[in-house]
Structure 1
């Protein structure tokens, strides 16, 4: 029983997930600081206030709180995309070029049996709708 547990814990997926959760939690503080200390002050220079909580308030119904949450979400998503995803993609492309790896998306998609099945279903539906 302990051997099975050890095998489960040592699987690549579990370890990778654990590392991702820890790194994600630590990185969340960085993104939060970027949004609160850099991006929101810049927006407040444009709009005049750092949040929209009192914007469109009708008694207890405050649509501004939702607007502030949406703006914060978009800022966090933009920060992650431009600070993490874009540089990582460039690093991966440079590494692949250095190693001579040329990804061919069309070949990978054609080899996938699920894609082939979905393509057949799509074609069958098209032929039925054209009748």
Structure 2
């Protein structure tokens, strides 16, 4: 009984890295990190000033006191709910998700749908051609059989 050699850890790791999915994932992470900076800039430069028209420009300063709150800023004591930070993070997420969907996912899905429709149309056309060729061949066969049959009856 010969035992098959198991691939080594390094060979398995190399095979894992060479898969297309890993490379695609690495590219997506790098682009996502760069894209996060853009979204954060939009939130700081556009969203925060719009919110600042109503109150303060810094969303992190929006908070509510639950118990024994005294002081302001870093010297504040007590239990605070920092709902402004949550609001800012939520806005960043929603903006990021919307941009990714409308600029990447939606165009790609439309492209793939068009590609699938073209492929289906090509397959449909090819089936029609094959069916019509088959019909023509059957007609030729029937005509040849008819000619042989009529030729033998003369002799």
Cα 1:5–1:52 shift into 2, 3 Å:
closer
Cα 1:100–1:5 shift into 2, 3 Å:
closer
Tell me the equivalent position of 2:80. 62
Tell me the equivalent position of 1:41. 49
Q: Which has the larger radius of gyration?
A: 2
After TM superposition, give the deviation of residue 79 of structure 1 in Å.
Answer: 0.8
Cα 1:38–1:69 shift into 2, 3 Å:
same
SS in structure 1 at match of 2:61: coil
* Structure with the higher strand share, 1 or 2: 2
After TM superposition, give the deviation of residue 91 of structure 1 in Å.
Answer: 0.4
1:1-131 correspondence to structure 2 within 5 Å = 1=8, 2-45=10-53, 47-50=54-57, 51=59, 53=61, 55-57=63-65, 58-59=69-70, 60=77, 61-63=79-81, 66-101=82-117
Cα 1:4–1:90 shift into 2, 3 Å:
closer
Q: How many residues align?
A: 99
Q: Taking structure 1 as the reference length, what is the TM-score of the superposition?
A: 0.62
After TM superposition, give the deviation of residue 7 of structure 1 in Å.
Answer: 0.8
| Conservation of the 8 A alpha-carbon contact between 2:60 and 2:84 | yes
Output the aligned Cα RMSD. Answer: 2.3
Cα 1:73–1:54 shift into 2, 3 Å:
closer
After TM superposition, give the deviation of residue 86 of structure 1 in Å.
Answer: 2.4
SS in structure 2 at match of 1:48: coil
Q: Distance in 1 between matches of 2:97 and 2:44?
A: 17
